[in-house]
């Protein structure tokens, strides 16, 4: 029976294993941690956002420079296919007001249990605490039983990126695999802000209904003020541009024009403090007022324009291991159209170890599923073609 090895038990690796086993190959999944899909389970703690229901071209634009490389894979297994796949595993789905798609359970564990059950029924063997450490006449692993070497017919590498090392994505594979790599960088991460003491009472507070702008990207959303800086969905959506050096500006009142703001501020203030005047005239809440004082004091007499474009000064990204995902990894030019490594026949790569990035909101998981399936299917075809050739000889 043709043998296949998948290194990495995250969403991309498990999807590759599903494709390989469905094609009739004997599949082993080697995972360094004591259990599989740890980062996937962590993602489900705040609601498992599997994909995004929106116009396909809009969906693709989220992948930036990697859009053209990922397009065939996402056309083959995009948002609709992800939802149908999850429903096939017994998970009822729903779409939120923002277009984000979730299982009704909002958790990853029921989906993962059903998925592992199906993989087991297809004969997939999971080997945990198997850490890939080298290439010496095969794939070398450190295991509880000692050093092991596997020589499969085909292999799919799905080793993850370089964030959340405690969950398995430590990027150590980059020291083992001799292929062209783009350096790892944090993606979907928070940024460090050296707050003044008056901001301490706002730590943990959400900043809602703001427009965040960095470079050519502007999004309506919210974020969190933490003791270390700023983080959350709105920040992650513009984090790529911020990482590349674009300044961050906040529109604190996206529902009002600058002219509307000036007109409201011109109303008689009486003996009211500035804070009370901002609250009454503009409904500017205490958190937004605190940000205004933090980054724009002393305020000029006419500060309407500042409320529409408040500069947020930061000291750069939080450490990469804290990032939700990473940019960088195996360059696409090192791969063929089926995600096989050009200099390693029969070895494919998938998931976050490839050089792409995307914002949160369903884009990350969808591309991990899609690249895992694509690599698994092409690995199966490669193995079958190779064995047909051997048999004919």
Q: DSSP letters along 199-264, please?
A: GGGGTT-EEEEEEEEETTEEEEEEEEE-SSEEESHHHHHTHHHHHTTPPEEEES-TTS-HHHHHHH
What dihedral angle (degrees, nearest 10) is formed by the CA atoms of 231, 160, 319, 107?
A: 30
Do 65 and 13 contact (CB within 8 A), yes or no? no
Cα separation, 254 vs 46, in Å, equals: 27
- Read off φ and ψ for residue 180, nearest 5 degrees: -60, 125
Sorted by where each starts, the structural domains of the chain and their CATH numbers stand as 3-186+320-392 (3.50.50.60), 191-312 (no CATH)
Cα separation, 127 vs 219, in Å, equals: 43
* Residue whose C-alpha is closest to residue 13's, from 146, 188, 145, 173: 173
Per-residue DSSP letters for 125-147? EEEES-EEEEESSSEEEEETTEE
Q: What is the pLDDT of residue 386?
A: 82
How is residue 274 written in tokens?
């500035």
Do 163 and 325 contact (CB within 8 A), yes or no? yes
How far CA 89 is from CA of 117, 119, 126, 217, 219, in Å, comes to 10, 11, 19, 36, 34
Q: What b/e sequence results for 170-208 when a residue is b if at least 16 CB atoms lie within 10 Å of its CB, and e otherwise? A: bbebbeebebebeebbbbbbbbebebeeebeebeeeebe
Q: What is the pLDDT of residue 45?
A: 86
What dihedral angle (degrees, nearest 10) is formed by the CA atoms of 168, 170, 174, 175?
A: -100
Per-residue DSSP letters for 74-130? HHHS-HHHHHHHHHHTT--EEE-TTSEEEETT--SHHHHHHHHHHHHHTTPEEEES-
Sequential pLDDT tens for the chain (393 residues): 789 999 999 999 999 999 999 999 999 999 999 999 999 999 888 899 999 999 999 999 999 999 999 999 999 999 999 999 999 999 999 999 899 999 999 999 999 999 999 999 999 999 999 999 999 999 999 999 999 999 999 999 999 999 999 999 999 999 999 999 999 999 999 999 999 999 999 999 999 999 999 999 999 999 999 999 999 999 999 999 999 999 999 999 999 999 999 999 999 988 889 999 999 999 999 999 999 999 999 999 899 999 999 999 999 999 999 999 999 999 999 999 999 999 999 999 999 999 999 999 999 999 999 999 999 999 999 999 986 543 332
CA Rg value for the chain: 24
Place of tokens 């995600």: 339
**How do beta strands 3-7 and 100-103 pair?**
unpaired
Do 23 and 116 contact (CB within 8 A), yes or no? no
Q: What is the pLDDT of residue 388?
A: 54
Q: What is the pLDDT of residue 390?
A: 39
Q: What is the pLDDT of residue 387?
A: 67
How is residue 92 written in tokens?
């009822």
* Residue whose C-alpha is closest to residue 158's, from 387, 368, 345: 368
Q: What b/e sequence results for 226-255 when a residue is b if at least 16 CB atoms lie within 10 Å of its CB, and e otherwise? A: beebbbbbbbbbbbbbbbeeeebbbbbbee
How far CA 332 is from CA of 13, 50, 158, 358, 389, in Å, comes to 18, 24, 15, 16, 28
Q: What is the DSSP letter of 340?
A: B
Q: At what angle do helices 363-392 and 67-76 cross, to 10 degrees?
A: 80
* Residue whose C-alpha is closest to residue 223's, from 191, 187, 185, 258: 191
């Amino acid at each position: 029976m043709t043998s296949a090895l998948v290194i990495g038990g995250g969403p991309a690796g498990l999807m590759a294993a599903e494709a390989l086993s469905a094609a009739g190959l004997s599949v082993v999944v080697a995972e360094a941690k004591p259990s599989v899909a740890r980062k996937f389970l962590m993602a489900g703690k705040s609601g498992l956002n599997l994909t995004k229901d929106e116009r396909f071209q809009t969906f693709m634009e989220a992948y930036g420079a990697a859009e053209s490389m990922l397009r065939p894979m996402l056309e083959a297994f995009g948002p609709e296919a992800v939802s149908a796949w999850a429903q096939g595993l017994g998970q009822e789905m729903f779409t939120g007001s923002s277009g984000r798609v979730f299982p009704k359970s909002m958790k990853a564990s029921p989906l993962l249990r059903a998925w592992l059950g199906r993989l087991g029924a297809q004969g997939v063997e999971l080997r945990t605490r198997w850490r890939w450490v080298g290439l010496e006449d095969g794939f070398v692993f450190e295991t509880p039983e000692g050093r092991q070497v596997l020589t499969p017919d085909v292999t799919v590498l799905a080793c993850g990126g370089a964030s959340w090392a405690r969950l398995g994505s430590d990027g150590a594979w980059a020291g083992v695999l001799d292929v062209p790599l783009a350096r790892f960088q944090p993606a979907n991460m928070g940024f460090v802000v050296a707050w003044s003491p008056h901001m301490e009472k706002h730590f943990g507070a959400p900043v809602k209904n703001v427009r965040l702008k960095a470079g050519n990207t502007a999004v309506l959303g919210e974020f969190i003020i933490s003791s270390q800086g700023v983080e959350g969905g709105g920040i992650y959506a513009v984090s790529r541009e911020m990482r590349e050096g674009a300044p961050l500006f906040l529109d604190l009142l996206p529902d009002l024009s600058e002219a509307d703001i000036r007109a409201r501020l011109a109303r008689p203030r009486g003996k009211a403090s500035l804070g009370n005047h901002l609250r009454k005239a503009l409904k500017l809440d205490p958190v937004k007022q605190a940000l205004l004082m933090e980054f724009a004091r002393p305020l000029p007499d006419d500060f309407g324009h500042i409320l529409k474009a408040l500069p947020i000064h930061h000291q750069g990204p939080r450490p990469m291991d804290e990032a939700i995902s990473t940019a960088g990894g195996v360059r696409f030019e090192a791969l063929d159209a089926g995600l096989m490594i050009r200099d390693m026949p029969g070895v494919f790569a998938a998931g976050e170890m490839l050089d792409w990035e995307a914002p949160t909101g369903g884009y990350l998981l969808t591309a991990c599923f899609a690249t895992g399936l694509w690599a698994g299917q092409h690995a199966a075809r490669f193995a079958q073609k190779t064995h047909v050739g051997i048999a004919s000889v």
